[in-house]
Chain A
Amino acid sequence: MNITLRVNGESHDLDLDPRVSLLDALRHHLHLTGTKKGCDHGQCGACTVLLNGRRINACLTLACMHDGDDITTIEGIGADGLTPLQQAFIEHDGFQCGYCTPGQICSAVGMAEELRQGWPSHVTDDLTADPELTRDEIAERMSGNLCRCSCYPGIVNAIRQSLGEQA
């Protein structure tokens, strides 16, 4: 199938088997290897990218479903200098082996937008008020991204700081 993916602001015309996942299209066809495959079943979050600004597991969606869509991968975040979120990951030691990190960053960017729009989560007390940036709120919203090195305290603190909260 012929499709066009707009990845990190650049258009790519691709001729793909319809069974190719968005993740494999990125890694194998566009050679954007920053996005990682941890389980290929949508259970670990390592492949999280932004699809038209919203976070998605790239392993669980087919590339051919995204003709004309805007994709942002880790290669498109902080390419011209680290973002405050990425800086905060360094400051709070939010990673060890680095394998889940691209997914954590993309997920955090998507989550920040969900927060900005006032989406409640499983642990939000007041569904009508703007969610508070508590530790529990961030941890719950990031619970789809596994980190076996378990840098969760650093990740949560980094995200809170980047969102303007005192970690």
Chain B
Amino acid sequence: MARDFGIGASSKRREDVRFLTGKGRYTDDFNRPGQTHVAFLRSQVAHGRILSINTAAAEAMPGVLQVFTAADFADAGGLPCGWQVTDRFGNVMQEPKHPVLADGKVRHVGEPIVAVVAETLDQARDAAEAIEVEIEELPAVMDMRAALAEDAPKVHDDLTSNLCFDWGFVEENKAKVGEAFARAHHVTTLDLINNRLVPNPMEPRVALAEYDAAGDSYTLYTTSQNPHVIRLLMGAFVLNIPEHRLRVVAPDVGGGFGAKIYHYAEEAFCTRAAQMVGRPVKWTSTRAEAFMSDAHGRDHVTRIELALDENGKFLALRTDTLANMGAYLSTFAPAVPTWLHGTLMAGNYTTPLIYVNVKAIFTNTVPVDAYRGAGRPEATYQLERVIDKAAREMGIDPIELRRRNFIQPEQFPYQTPVAVVYDTGNYQATMDRVVEMTDYHNFEARRAESAARGKLRGFGIAHYIEACGIAPSNLVGQLGARAGLYESATVRVNATGSITVFTGSHSHGQGHETTFAQVVADMIGIPESQIEIAHGDTANTPMGMGTYGSRSIAVGGSAMVKATNKIIAKAKKIAAHLLEASEGDIELKDGKFSVAGTDRSVDWSGVTLAAYVPHNYPLEDLEPGLEETAFYDPSNFTYPSGAYACEVEVDPDTGKVEILSFAAADDFGNVINPMIVEGQVHGGLAQGIGQALLEVAVYDDEGQLLTGSYMDYAMPRADDLPMYQVDHSCQTPCTHNPLGVKGCGEAGAIGSPPAVVNAVIDALQRGGHDHVTHLDMPLTPSRVWAAMQR
């Protein structure tokens, strides 16, 4: 039965009322006394040498306070990369400096060159237009394959080439994989592109910094998914500000999807400028700036090969991927095509031998980094597409082919050949569930009905697995992470029994204020309304790593459970004293401590009051107060999985694809709030369907971004998307975190692109277009129509 309270209840969100009445507090809603404004002059060319910069006219313009160039940041560090990948020859990746303002060269359209701080934004913009920058244009490095040519122009003159690293995984398996291919009954090969995307949270990035000269301290308000990470990276590596003099606040944040993980130049700029100008400095990104300065996502070009035996058993898998890094290494960029991608290539299957090669390449484009799913959508897309193609080539039903290769429930924990150990899962169960949800067995009748109307109907299925709950620190340390990936929580119980939880996780739409409160309420047995969740301010929360990689409930929630357990343990000691009983006899139930087997009890607020008014209190044994902090470092990733099915209709006259139904059967382990989980799945599905049908970031050969607004970049709108069937009744709880949770934020974006593409290819094949075995995303009407004409 559905619960109305605590874990498992669809509690309505506590943040809703402020969002519904315009009372949300987003970074751009903050203004500080004496605030100034910054306008950036950004590069209009993709690649060039800066010959001269003349700021004299701008400096003389009304309201202008100061004009900044790279020279003002000569003593600052570059924007750091948080991950160092070692290549297959044992060498570390090439790592160019990423200056705050372009230094000597410009390397992508949109790179900031000069910044003007003025009294008003209009004055700053007018002055920026008066700056003369002379640039000697250089040939742009755009195509990844061409970038690897011996004589290709170099994005970074001080590097040996445009190759950031050449990564092999698992390198020792390479020869064995080759042998397996040599003796395979059948080999399916597929060349595909994972299209470049722009994350596009609706709230553009904002940075507002102020400097307090009296305390020599800084405050930065910023649109971040992880304020502590920004404080650490910017303070320690860029501006040399110790943490205790730097406060970073990320208040309500209007969506992130990965794009707000990273430390950006504008944050460092505003922070430094606030001190130099002596007044608060604010920057609010325009949408055009967002398109050309927010980190983009995906952009992989891959050849994948699957070797099968005569029964369709997978023998080996081999992939060769070119991964676009853009012009500089963004915070997590090198981890995305490697450790978040190669480790997932086993998927849900028992493929014994896998070899993944990834060449990461610098180009004259905006840096590319993690976007919802990050590496895992790329892995899943390749795998689920090549399996579908193999099924067709071998004449085996695609569902049956997957079933023959699933890891079986009794095989868990399952060691894959690509380093990770899946703790739990039941892939046949989610597949069965989605087949049932979609009424697959009556598909043929529906197809005939479509055909009668002149439409091509197709059915596509995809299974996925992801590694979430990022991540065990000792493991990622070995893999090149320069940070730990634990999470923190402080549970502060107040004298009257209300509670404030300070979490290092950050909510920018995920509803932590609700779900986190549900967990604590459930553990103690008090109403959710007694609990407040605080996040997003380094001044009051312990060092935390923030929210991405579907890690909040699995890692942040676990830290909170750990801290709450410490609270309960201490509260039981206090209760034992108050009840003159032995601590071992104290039971906590429904917010009441009682002595087992008696009617003697004290309620929650009686204990909390005693903790803060310790008149009758075991002061010789216990400190007063009731506040505990815990850090939780996961022992493994979590492995959500699921099966997605999509049914489409293609109009042969126009090539337009319409999604008729979309069903998702996910295994997220235990679920805290089903309503919020469903919303997360909806969001992921929409971004995945957007990738499959609508979205792509396009550069021309000169490096101009052709899709720089919502008129050119097709965001999914209300009428582009179907109503979904979402189910998460198949649950194999995570075995290594206290809540048994796996995470749900990215699943939809991972599993849906291959489901949609498989459905469209199926429609075309069944419709007589046998030659169309693959189409690259997005499956726009023109692309689909052109394929049918071939």
Q: Which residues of A pack against B, CB within 8 Å? A: 17, 19, 32-41, 43-44, 46, 73-75, 77-79, 82, 86, 89-91, 93, 95-102, 105, 123, 135-136, 138-140, 142-156
Q: List 25 A-B contacts (CB under 8 A).
A: A35-B22, A38-B287, A41-B711, A43-B710, A73-B22, A78-B20, A79-B21, A95-B20, A97-B201, A97-B202, A97-B203, A97-B252, A97-B508, A99-B255, A138-B718, A139-B718, A143-B720, A145-B718, A148-B200, A148-B201, A148-B715, A149-B509, A150-B721, A152-B682, A156-B723
B297 within 8 A of A: no
A155 CA / B15 CA spacing, docked (Å): 16
A95 CA / B686 CA spacing, docked (Å): 14
A37 CA / B287 CA spacing, docked (Å): 9
A122 CA / B717 CA spacing, docked (Å): 15
Interface residues on B, range: 35 or more
Choose from B24, B29, B284, B710 the contact partner of A146 (Cβ within 8 Å): B710
Stretch binding the partner chain, chosen from B447-455, B487-495, B672-680, B778-786: B672-680
B618 within 8 A of A: no
Known contacts A39-B710, A44-B202, A143-B718; is A98 also within 8 Å of B287 by CB? Answer: no
Choose from A36, A39, A89, A153 the contact partner of B724 (Cβ within 8 Å): A153
Q: Which chain B residue lies CB-closest to A138?
A: B718
Interface centre among A98, A140, A147 (most CB of B within 10 A): A98
Known contacts A35-B22, A147-B202; is A90 also within 8 Å of B287 by CB? Answer: no
B510 within 8 A of A: yes
What is the CB-to-nearest-CB distance from B160 to chain A, in angstroms, rounded to a whole number? 39
Q: Are A97 and B723 in contact (CB under 8 A)?
A: no
Interface centre among B28, B122, B204, B718 (most CB of A within 10 A): B718
B511 within 8 A of A: yes
A74 CA / B284 CA spacing, docked (Å): 22
Q: Are B29 and A93 in contact (CB under 8 A)?
A: no
What is the CB-to-nearest-CB distance from A25 to chain B, in angstroms, rounded to a whole number? 14
Q: Are B683 and A96 in contact (CB under 8 A)?
A: yes
Choose from B202, B679, B680, B709 the contact partner of A148 (Cβ within 8 Å): B202
Choose from B254, B709, B716 the contact partner of A39 (Cβ within 8 Å): B709
B301 within 8 A of A: no
A151 CA / B717 CA spacing, docked (Å): 10
Q: A33-B28, A75-B22, A143-B720 are in contact. List 8 more A-B contacts (CB 8 A).
A: A17-B122, A82-B21, A89-B16, A90-B16, A98-B16, A139-B718, A148-B200, A152-B682
Choose from A39, A46, A78, A143 the contact partner of B719 (Cβ within 8 Å): A143
Q: Which chain B residue lies CB-closest to A97?
A: B509
Q: Are B710 and A148 in contact (CB under 8 A)?
A: no
Chain A positions within 8 Å of B12 at CB level: 90-91
Known contacts A97-B202, A97-B255; is A34 also within 8 Å of B287 by CB? Answer: no
Q: Are A98 and B254 in contact (CB under 8 A)?
A: yes
Q: Which chain A residue lies CB-closest to B199?
A: A148
A19 CA / B123 CA spacing, docked (Å): 13
B576 within 8 A of A: no
Choose from B201, B509, B511, B718 the contact partner of A156 (Cβ within 8 Å): B718
Q: Render B714-740 as a binary contact track against A, CB cut-off 8 A, 1 for contact.
A: 011111110110000000000000000
B286 within 8 A of A: yes
Q: Are A34 and B21 in contact (CB under 8 A)?
A: yes
Chain A positions within 8 Å of B675 at CB level: 93
A51 CA / B338 CA spacing, docked (Å): 52
What is the CB-to-nearest-CB distance from A99 to chain B, in angstroms, rounded to a whole number? 3
Chain A positions within 8 Å of B204 at CB level: 37-38
Chain A positions within 8 Å of B723 at CB level: 135, 153, 156
A140 CA / B718 CA spacing, docked (Å): 7
Chain B positions within 8 Å of A77 at CB level: 21
Chain A positions within 8 Å of B711 at CB level: 41, 43
Chain A positions within 8 Å of B509 at CB level: 96-98, 149
Q: Are B686 and A152 in contact (CB under 8 A)?
A: yes
Chain B positions within 8 Å of A93 at CB level: 13, 675-676, 678-679
Chain A positions within 8 Å of B165 at CB level: none
Q: Which of B314-342 contact A (CB under 8 A)?
A: none
Interface centre among A79, A82, A95, A156 (most CB of B within 10 A): A95
Chain B positions within 8 Å of A37 at CB level: 28, 204, 284
Q: Render B692-726 as a binary contact track against A, CB cut-off 8 A, 1 for contact.
A: 00000000000000000111000111111101100
What is the CB-to-nearest-CB distance from A87 to chain B, in angstroms, rounded to a whole number? 9
A108 CA / B433 CA spacing, docked (Å): 36
Q: Are B686 and A101 in contact (CB under 8 A)?
A: no
In the complex, the 6 A-B pairs of residues with the closest C-beta atoms, listed nearest first: A34-B22, A99-B254, A98-B19, A150-B686, A97-B509, A96-B509
B213 within 8 A of A: no
What is the CB-to-nearest-CB distance from A163 to chain B, in angstroms, rounded to a whole number? 15
A143 CA / B711 CA spacing, docked (Å): 14
Chain B positions within 8 Å of A100 at CB level: 202, 254
Q: Which of B1-51 contact A (CB under 8 A)?
A: 12-13, 15-24, 26, 28-29
B548 within 8 A of A: no
Q: Are A40 and B255 in contact (CB under 8 A)?
A: no
Chain A positions within 8 Å of B218 at CB level: none
Chain B positions within 8 Å of A97 at CB level: 201-203, 252-255, 508-509
What is the CB-to-nearest-CB distance from A134 to chain B, in angstroms, rounded to a whole number? 12
Q: Are B255 and A96 in contact (CB under 8 A)?
A: yes
A153 CA / B180 CA spacing, docked (Å): 47
What is the CB-to-nearest-CB distance from B771 to chain A, in angstroms, rounded to a whole number? 34
Chain A positions within 8 Å of B676 at CB level: 93
What is the CB-to-nearest-CB distance from A90 to chain B, in angstroms, rounded to a whole number? 5
Interface centre among A46, A93, A148 (most CB of B within 10 A): A148
Known contacts A36-B203, A38-B204, A101-B20; is A150 also within 8 Å of B683 by CB? Answer: yes
Q: Which chain A residue lies CB-closest to B253?
A: A97
Q: Are B20 and A86 in contact (CB under 8 A)?
A: yes
Q: Are B709 and A151 in contact (CB under 8 A)?
A: no
Choose from B22, B508, B680 the contact partner of A102 (Cβ within 8 Å): B22
Chain B positions within 8 Å of A17 at CB level: 122
B685 within 8 A of A: yes
A99 CA / B254 CA spacing, docked (Å): 5
Known contacts A86-B20, A96-B679; is A43 also within 8 Å of B709 by CB? Answer: yes
A151 CA / B709 CA spacing, docked (Å): 22
Q: Render B174-212 as a binary contact track against A, CB cut-off 8 A, 1 for contact.
A: 000000000000000000000000001111100000000
Q: Which of B658-686 contact A (CB under 8 A)?
A: 675-676, 678-680, 682-683, 685-686
Known contacts A44-B202, A98-B254, A149-B509; is A74 also within 8 Å of B21 by CB? Answer: yes
Choose from A43, A73, A99, A148 the contact partner of B24 (Cβ within 8 Å): A99
Q: Are A33 and B22 in contact (CB under 8 A)?
A: yes
Known contacts A82-B17, A93-B676, A101-B19; is A151 also within 8 Å of B682 by CB? Answer: yes
B617 within 8 A of A: no
Q: Are B20 and A89 in contact (CB under 8 A)?
A: yes
Chain A positions within 8 Å of B26 at CB level: 33, 36, 99
What is the CB-to-nearest-CB distance from B678 to chain A, in angstroms, rounded to a whole number? 7
A41 CA / B204 CA spacing, docked (Å): 13
Chain B positions within 8 Å of A36 at CB level: 26, 202-203, 254
What is the CB-to-nearest-CB distance from A23 to chain B, in angstroms, rounded to a whole number? 12
Chain A positions within 8 Å of B200 at CB level: 148
A59 CA / B671 CA spacing, docked (Å): 41
Q: Are A140 and B202 in contact (CB under 8 A)?
A: no
Choose from A74, A146, A148, A149 the contact partner of B22 (Cβ within 8 Å): A74
Q: Which chain B residue lies CB-closest to A89?
A: B20
Chain B positions within 8 Å of A148 at CB level: 200-202, 255, 257, 683, 687, 715
Chain B positions within 8 Å of A90 at CB level: 12-13, 16-17, 20
Choose from A41, A75, A155 the contact partner of B718 (Cβ within 8 Å): A155
Q: Which chain A residue lies CB-closest to B673?
A: A93
What is the CB-to-nearest-CB distance from A110 to chain B, in angstroms, rounded to a whole number? 15
Chain B positions within 8 Å of A146 at CB level: 202, 710, 715, 717
Q: Are A32 and B710 in contact (CB under 8 A)?
A: no
Q: Are B23 and A34 in contact (CB under 8 A)?
A: yes
Chain B positions within 8 Å of A150 at CB level: 682-683, 685-687, 716, 721
